[in-house]
Amino acid sequence: MTTIRTLVVAYLVLQFGLGVFVYLRRRAKGSADYVVARGSLGMFVLGGTIAATQLSSATALGDVAWTAAYGIGYYFLVWPFLWLGYWISAKWVARKMHAFGERAGGITIPDLLAARYDSQRLVRGIAAGILLIGFLFDFGVQFRAAGLVMGDLFGMKQVLAVIIAAVVFLGYTYLGGLLSIAYNDVIQICLFVVAYVVGAFFAVHSAGGVSSISAALQKQDASLLNLFGSHGLGFWTLIGLGISITLQFISYPVDTMKFYSAKNRRHLLSGIGIAFVFQGVIAFAVIAIGLAGRALHPRWTVDQFDNLVPTFALTSFPPLLGGLVMAIVIGAVMAVSSSILLTLGSALINDLYIPLAKPHMPPEKRLGATRIGVLIIGAAGTLFSFVNLGAIATVINNVLQVLAASFAVTLLFGMSSRKPNRLGAVLSMVGGAAGVALWILLGSPWGLAPSLPGFALSILGMIIGIRLGHPVPEPNLHAFFPSSQATVNTQMAATEGALGED
Amino acid sequence: MSLGIALGVTAVVWAICIAAYFIWAAAATRRDIEGGAKGSER
């Protein structure tokens, strides 16, 4: 246990130290540098940070539990839908977003939507508001998860564990901004791969090897090895789940923000592919650990399987590996939470406070204001983590579905067609969020994922808006649908004026 | 289906998905560069 605790402490010190290192070596020159580190991330770092932000504690613990409970089909079928979501984003959103960032100085998603829909206050305000409300819940429960794991591991009170975790990741985010987050994420994802791949070998070995696991699962329930669904989760349920996941990752805001940071478009598209490789390797290890756990614990429920990884780490793995796995579980929470913190801090200051209260704030003061925004969000999230908002996986899933239904249509349609307009964007975002919330309140009838009716309402809102609203002015559209390079340069200058300077 | 076969099929299908993405990304990057060059000529 001492080795495990030492490794976890060493990992937390490493993360904080990296934030201090980035602060001392490459201090941010402005809020854009701090929030998106424009043009700084090569494909490997970009891929690492995208994967680390997507692979939260939900993967490290929850997906292992689902694979153990429902079999290999859950991952085999659903994981490619995740990549489909990223591919749609890469094809229609990422490159235009990157170009917009380079030419017009955009640093947030509301920046992009405000310019595309010619609405510096309404569309920007609604987008920022949905991000803030949705992610604050996510942030609170992720943080709560870190507190629970650390509290159990060190035998300390949850309040103290949460405060220690907060000091570490709030510290490295406050000091180094996106660059610090990205470097920490790369270390996290590399250690995640090593810990889970080696952990999978030990888990399979402790269950008697591949043949023994296979025989045990055939005896328990042969459908656990069916690639197209099991008795617990059938084919069509998995397809519905997969579509919902595709929608979530077309516009996963904390990953989408990082498209601004790529060195160039080659690094941007390749970086997304490198994220797939990290995700694929870890997912494969998750399957092996989950099925080995199922062979060893045939009577466990899905809730009990949530403890499968910590159980392996503390009882079956060598101390060094066990410590690494526990550090990774806590690090997974920190990776997501730090990206959320920066996204929300910049949304609070750059999309709400400055446009609404201080539109003439000089550029040199915006960096300090953004850092204060990060601190405010960090404090709010820490307080939120002390409130029991419900099961961790359920809250995270609900938040992701609200965000998916709010932003997928507005971003995807807005970047791929000239027709979507301001009214359409407003109705689409509000309709999507309201549709998901309503479906959750109704108890998700017919087992349908809430993002699906939310997405349908979001599309309906966009269509109504296009019919009833006014077209977006040409200068705004030219920024995203150039007829020639010369036009782009001219019209981007017009958009720059609308965005203000930073 | 045995676990070995299930894992093998998963690895192959996922590898094809990722390879297909990289092929698309390379083609899209090439088109972007060519498009940019033509735009500059104008």
What tokens appear for A382 in the block? 């820490």
What tokens appear for B29 in the block? 């990057």
Confidence label for A219 from pLDDT (cuts 50, 70 and 90) = very high
Whether chain B has a CB inside 8 Å of the CB on A270: the answer is: yes
The pLDDT value given to residue B36: 64
Using the predicted structure, report yes or no on whether residue A55 has a pLDDT greater than 50: yes
For chain A, the average pLDDT equals: 87
The DSSP call for residue A60 is I
In the predicted model, what is the mean pLDDT of residues A289-299?
94
Query: How many CA atoms lie within 13 Å of A277's alpha carbon, on the beta-carbon side?
Result: 15
Q: What is the pTM of this model?
A: 0.89
Question: What is the tens place of the pLDDT at every residue in A100-151?
Answer: 888 888 888 998 999 999 988 899 999 999 999 888 888 888 777 777 778 8
What tokens appear for A363 in the block? 């550029």
The pLDDT value given to residue A183: 92
List the single residue in B4, B21, B29 with the smallest CB-CB distance to A210: B4
Other Cβ atoms less than 10 A from the Cβ of A237: the count is: 19
ipTM of the complex: 0.90
Question: What is the tens place of the pLDDT at every residue in A58-78?
Answer: 788 888 888 999 999 988 988
Question: Taking a contact as any Cβ pair under 8 Å apart, which residues of chain A between 461 and 490 contact chain B?
Answer: 482, 484-486, 488
Phi, psi of A176 (to 5 degrees): -105, -5
**Which value, in Å, is the radius of gyration of the alpha carbons in chain A?**
22
List the single residue in A217, A270, A486 with the smallest CB-CB distance to B3: A217
Q: Name the amino acid, one letter, at A32.
A: A
In the numeric block, the tokens 């405010």 are attached to A376
Best CA proximity match to A11, nearest among A206, A153, A137: A153
Percent of chain A beyond pLDDT 70?
95
Q: For residues A489 and A486, what is the distance between their CA atoms, to the nearest angstrom?
A: 5
In the predicted model, what is the mean pLDDT of residues A291-320?
90
Which of A50, A95, A483, A485 to mutate to probe the B interface, most B CBs <10 Å? Answer: A485
Question: What is the tens place of the pLDDT at every residue in B1-42?
Answer: 788 999 999 999 999 999 999 999 999 999 887 776 554 444
| Alpha carbon A467 to chain centroid, angstroms | 33
Whether chain B has a CB inside 8 Å of the CB on A99: the answer is: no
Confidence label for A499 from pLDDT (cuts 50, 70 and 90) = very low
> Is A76–B1 a contact, with Cβ atoms under 8 angstroms apart?
no
Confidence label for A363 from pLDDT (cuts 50, 70 and 90) = confident
> Is A485–B42 a contact, with Cβ atoms under 8 angstroms apart?
yes
Phi, psi of A264 (to 5 degrees): -160, -175
Percent of chain A beyond pLDDT 90?
42
> Is B42–A269 a contact, with Cβ atoms under 8 angstroms apart?
no
Residue of B nearest to A227 (CA): B6
In the predicted model, what is the mean pLDDT of residues A210-222?
93
- The whole-angstrom distance between B2's CA and the closest CA on chain A is 6
